[in-house]
Chains A and B, each alone.
Chain A
Amino acid sequence: MYSDKVIEHFRNPRNMGKIEDADGVGEVGNPVCGDLMKIYIKVKDGKIEDVKFETFGCAAAIATSSMVTELAKGKSIEEAMKIGRDDVARELDGLPPIKMHCSNLASDGLKEAIKDYLSKRGRE
Chain B
Amino acid sequence: MRVYLDHAATTPVDEKVLEEMLPYFTKKYGNASSLHSFGREARDAIERSRERVAELIGAESEEIIFTAGGTESDNIAIKGIAFRKGKGHIITSQIEHPAVMATCQHLEKKGFDVTYLPVDKYGMVSPEDVENAIRDDTILITIMHANNEIGTVEPIEEIAKIARENEIVFHTDAVQSVGKIPVNVKRIGMDMLSISAHKIYGPKGVGALYIKKGTKIEAIIHGGGHEKGLRPSTENVPGIVGLGKACELAEKRMEEDMKRMQRLRDKLIKSVLEIEESYLNGHPEKRLPNNAHFRFAAVEGESLILSLDDKGIAGSTGSACSSKKLKPSHVLMAIGLNEVQAHGSLRLTLGRENTEEEIDYVIEVLPPILEKLRAMSPLWKR
Listed in ascending order, the chain A residues whose CB lies under 8 Å from chain B are 7, 10-11, 13, 16-17, 27, 32-38, 53-59, 61-62, 98, 101
Chain B residues with CB under 8 Å of A17's CB are 375-376
Q: Which of A10, A53, A56 contacts B379 (CB 8 A)?
A: A56
A55 vs B300: C-alpha distance when bound (angstroms): 9
Listed in ascending order, the chain B residues whose CB lies under 8 Å from chain A are 298-300, 302-303, 306, 310, 319-322, 324, 326, 328, 339-340, 343, 375-379
Given A10-B303, A32-B326, A34-B339, residue A61 in contact with residue B378 (CB < 8 A): no
Chain B residues with CB under 8 Å of A61's CB are 300, 321
Q: Which of B299, B303, B328 contacts A59 (CB 8 A)?
A: B303
A61 vs B302: C-alpha distance when bound (angstroms): 10
Given A34-B343, A62-B376, residue A57 in contact with residue B321 (CB < 8 A): yes
Docked-complex contact A54 and B300, CB < 8 angstroms: no
Given A33-B320, A34-B340, A35-B343, residue A13 in contact with residue B303 (CB < 8 A): no
Docked-complex contact A57 and B303, CB < 8 angstroms: yes
In this complex, the member of B298, B320, B377, B378 whose beta carbon has the largest number of chain A beta carbons within 10 angstroms is: B378
Number of A-B contacts (CB under 8 A): 61
Docked-complex contact B322 and A56, CB < 8 angstroms: no
Docked-complex contact B377 and A56, CB < 8 angstroms: yes
Q: What are 10 A-B residue pairs whose CB atoms fall within 8 Å in the complex?
A: A7-B306, A10-B303, A10-B306, A33-B326, A33-B339, A34-B339, A35-B321, A56-B343, A56-B378, A57-B300
Q: Which 3 interchain pairs have the tightest Cβ spacing?
A: A58-B321, A54-B378, A58-B302
In this complex, the member of B303, B326, B376 whose beta carbon has the largest number of chain A beta carbons within 10 angstroms is: B376
A36 vs B321: C-alpha distance when bound (angstroms): 12
Q: How far is the CB of A111 from chain B (nearest CB, A)?
A: 17
A13 vs B306: C-alpha distance when bound (angstroms): 14
A27 vs B379: C-alpha distance when bound (angstroms): 12
Q: Nearest A residue to B338 by beta-carbon distance?
A: A34
Q: Which of B303, B319, B378 contacts A38 (CB 8 A)?
A: B378
Q: A32-B326, A58-B322 are in contact. List 20 more A-B contacts (CB 8 A).
A: A7-B306, A16-B376, A17-B376, A27-B378, A33-B320, A34-B339, A34-B340, A35-B300, A35-B321, A36-B378, A36-B379, A38-B378, A54-B377, A56-B298, A57-B321, A58-B302, A58-B319, A59-B306, A98-B324, A101-B326
In this complex, the member of B299, B303, B306, B375 whose beta carbon has the largest number of chain A beta carbons within 10 angstroms is: B303
Q: How far is the CB of B300 from chain A (nearest CB, A)?
A: 5
A36 vs B299: C-alpha distance when bound (angstroms): 11
Chain B residues with CB under 8 Å of A16's CB are 375-376
